[in-house]
């Protein structure tokens, strides 16, 4: 049962294992949920999904699968034998529900109504019926036919079920698509760490304990000290698109590995130069951008800011209003860069272009002087220098 659905989740990269599949079956077997597709969805979600970043993908796959991948012809749906409906209807409906059915004019009337509804339904609902068609013996086949199902059609707005829960995709924002992890990169990033002893005291200070205990005539006098921790906070701003295409893979891998190294790391994207908006997910930059003012406001000035970009652009893109290649910017890039400089005293620019070529591009020189010569090449040595400068 539902093996295909499980395999679909697995193939689409959702981290599900046999254990989850078996728990789902066991839960169904134990009758944890009522016969209702919504509850089935809730149960699937609880068993299969282990992190909120996967919820959105799960919702999409659930929607796609239970919408019915193969299309079933209309005739097939209209021609469900009345006998089957009657028999299963009686088996599945509770006495109260039967009462309600009677109030609606009896089962016959109800069946007529169902057929009408089928004809009115849009494609999405028809897909749902695939369930009934293929799963005549499955208890889930019954959803469409219980009074609740009818009610959906009648006053969808009151129960607000017109949109299926999983189709709402409430969890979109929790997705995390950044690819990470390269061990070499992580090793380099270790250089960015700043180890401090802060917080609660939890390690035994051996030397001091021995000294104090002897002073205490052999009675124990224990002394502790805080653990070593990495306390650096990093705000990362990555240039994407255009001339950065050659380097972006390297840059993003390098710094997404940083996620594991730093407790406080946030990253945003920009194109060529900073203007009034930034974005978190490059694929959705036009739909979901964030005002640069919000970013300036959100992070305290003890954040270390690292720009990553080739700084290769037309000088107008930095100095002029409306200079951006992509849109009419009200304020010049330089204005925005200065706002960053004022807010964050610890700021560096890391450039993937070879250092000896920097002097040939005017805009690189401009950006370099703006950062106060805090521009470093994207090499081990360059990063080491940048980190030193950040400290």
Partner 1 sequence: MNFEGTSTYIAARDLQVAVNAAIAMQKPLLVKGEPGTGKTLLAHEVAKALGKRLFTWHIKSTTKAQQGLYEYDAVSRLRDSQLGDDKVSDIANYIVKGKLWEAFDADEQVVLLIDEIDKADIEFPNDLLLELDKMEFFCYELNKTIKAKQRPIVIITSNNEKELPDAFLRRCFFHYISFPDRDTLSKIVEVHYPSLEQKLMSEAMNVFYNLRNVRGLKKKPSTSELIDWIKLLMVGKINETELKAAHQQGQIPLIGAVIKNEQDLALLQKHNSVNLRR
Residues that bind partner 1 (CB under 8 A): 15, 17, 19-20, 23, 26-27, 30, 32-33, 38-39, 42-43, 45-47, 49-52, 55, 165, 170-171, 174, 199-200, 202, 218-220, 222, 290-291, 293-294, 297-298
Question: Where would I find the beta strands (DSSP E) of the chain?
Answer: 195-204, 224-230, 233-239, 264-270, 277-279, 289-291, 304-308, 347-351, 375-377
Least gap, CB of 23 to partner 1 (angstroms)? 6
Give whole-number Cα distances, 53 to 46, 97, 171, in Å.
13, 39, 8
159 vs 139: CA distance, rounded Å:
24
Q: Which residue number, 115 or 264, has a Cβ lying nearer to partner 1?
A: 264
Q: Which residue number, 263 or 391, has a Cβ lying nearer to partner 1?
A: 263
Least gap, CB of 21 to partner 1 (angstroms)? 12
Least gap, CB of 208 to partner 1 (angstroms)? 16
Least gap, CB of 145 to partner 1 (angstroms)? 21
Bridge partners, 277 (sequence order): 291
* CB-CB contact of 169 with 55 (8 Å): no
In degrees and rounded to multiples of 5, residue 121 shows phi and psi of: -65, 150
What does the DSSP 8-state code read for residue 242?
Answer: G
Q: Which residue number, 154 or 291, has a Cβ lying nearer to partner 1?
A: 291
Q: Which residue number, 292 or 346, has a Cβ lying nearer to partner 1?
A: 292
Question: Where would I find the beta strands (DSSP E) of 96-206?
Answer: 195-204
Q: Hey, how many other C-beta atoms are within 10 angstroms of the C-beta on 364?
A: 22
* CB-CB contact of 142 with 94 (8 Å): no
- Nearest residue to 277 (alpha-carbon basis) of 291, 293, 266, 298: 291
267 vs 259: CA distance, rounded Å:
10
Least gap, CB of 203 to partner 1 (angstroms)? 10
Q: Which residue number, 69 or 290, has a Cβ lying nearer to partner 1?
A: 290
Least gap, CB of 381 to partner 1 (angstroms)? 31
* CB-CB contact of 131 with 72 (8 Å): no
What share of residues in the chain are helix, strand, coil (percent, to 5)?
55, 15, 30
Q: Which residue number, 174 or 187, has a Cβ lying nearer to partner 1?
A: 174
Least gap, CB of 291 to partner 1 (angstroms)? 7
Q: Which residue number, 102 or 298, has a Cβ lying nearer to partner 1?
A: 298
């Amino acid at each position: 049962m539902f093996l295909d659905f499980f395999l679909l989740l697995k193939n689409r990269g959702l981290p599900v294992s046999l254990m989850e599949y078996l728990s789902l079956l066991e839960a169904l077997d134990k009758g944890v949920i009522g016969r209702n597709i919504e509850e089935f969805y809730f149960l699937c979600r609880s068993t299969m999904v282990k992190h909120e970043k996967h919820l959105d993908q799960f919702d999409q796959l659930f929607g796609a699968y239970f919408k019915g991948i193969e299309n079933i012809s209309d005739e097939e749906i209209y021609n469900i034998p009345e006998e089957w409906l009657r028999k299963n209807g009686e088996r599945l409906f509770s006495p109260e529900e039967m009462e309600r059915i009677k109030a609606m004019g009896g089962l016959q009337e109800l069946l007529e109504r169902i057929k009408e509804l089928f004809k009115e339904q849009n494609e999405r609902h028809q897909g749902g019926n695939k369930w009934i068609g293929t799963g005549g013996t499955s208890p889930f086949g019954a959803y469409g036919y219980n009074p609740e199902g009818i009610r959906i059609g009648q006053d969808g707005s009151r129960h607000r079920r017109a949109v299926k829960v999983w189709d709402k995709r409430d969890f979109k924002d929790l997705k995390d698509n950044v690819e990470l992890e390269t061990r070499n990169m992580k090793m380099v990033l270790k250089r960015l760490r700043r180890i401090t002893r802060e917080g609660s005291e939890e390690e035994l200070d051996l030397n001091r304990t021995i000294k104090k205990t002897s002073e205490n005539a052999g009675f124990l006098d224990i002394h502790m000290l805080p653990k070593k921790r990495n306390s650096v906070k990093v705000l990362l701003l990555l240039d994407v698109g255009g001339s950065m295409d050659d380097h972006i893979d390297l840059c993003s891998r390098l710094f997404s590995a940083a996620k594991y190294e730093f407790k406080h790391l946030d990253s945003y994207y920009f194109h060529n130069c900073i203007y009034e908006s930034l974005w978190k997910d490059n694929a959705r930059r036009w739909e979901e951008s964030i005002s640069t003012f919000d970013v300036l406001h959100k992070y305290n000035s003890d954040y270390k800011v690292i720009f990553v970009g080739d700084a290769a652009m037309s000088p107008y893109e930095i100095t002029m209003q409306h200079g951006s290649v992509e849109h009419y910017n009200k304020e010049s890039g330089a204005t925005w860069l200065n706002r960053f400089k004022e807010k964050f005293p610890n700021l560096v620019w890391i450039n993937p272009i070879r250092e000896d070529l920097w002097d040939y591009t005017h805009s690189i020189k401009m950006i370099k002087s703006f950062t106060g010569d805090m521009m470093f090449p994207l090499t081990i040595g360059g990063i080491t220098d940048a980190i030193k400068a950040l400290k």
